[in-house]
Amino acid sequence: ELKVEQNPLFLSMQEGKNYTIYCNYSTTSDRLYWYRQDPGKSLESLFVLLSNGAVKQEGRLMASLDTKARLSTLHITAAVHDLSATYFCAVVYGGSQGNLIFGKGTKLSVKP
């Protein structure tokens, strides 16, 4: 059974600072998603990472995937208040008929 662990679960940071959210998973998978969720809202897809060494960037967010280490990171550069949200990683599990297994989420609060 695949387990997905995110850390930290809560993150309070100041504007302008850098930080990294980690997503570890327990068994082999070649597809990982990062989602953003604002309070009371649905999930918005941020990144899809498909292969070892994949790196994607959008604005102040950069995601990477190391399939050998079973680790993905979401790096935040020079945080701004608008990035305050909950971030989820989700890993595909179960071969060709796989489903998504979500981490518990990281609640990010960016303070001025």
Site for other proteins (CB under 8 A): how many residues?
22
Q: How far apart are CA 47 and CA 63, in angstroms?
A: 7
Could you say whether residue 94 binds other proteins (CB under 8 A)? yes
Q: Please list the alpha-helical segments (H only) found in 1-112.
A: none
Per DSSP, 96 falls in state G
* CB burial of residue 21 (10 Å; 0-12, 13-18, 19+): buried
Could you say whether residue 42 binds other proteins (CB under 8 A)? yes
CB closer to other proteins out of 95 and 112 = 95
CB of 32 to other proteins, least distance (A): 12
**Using CB under 8 A as the criterion, which residues of the chain lie in contact with other proteins when the complex forms?**
4, 31, 33, 41-43, 45, 48, 88, 90, 92, 94-100, 102-105
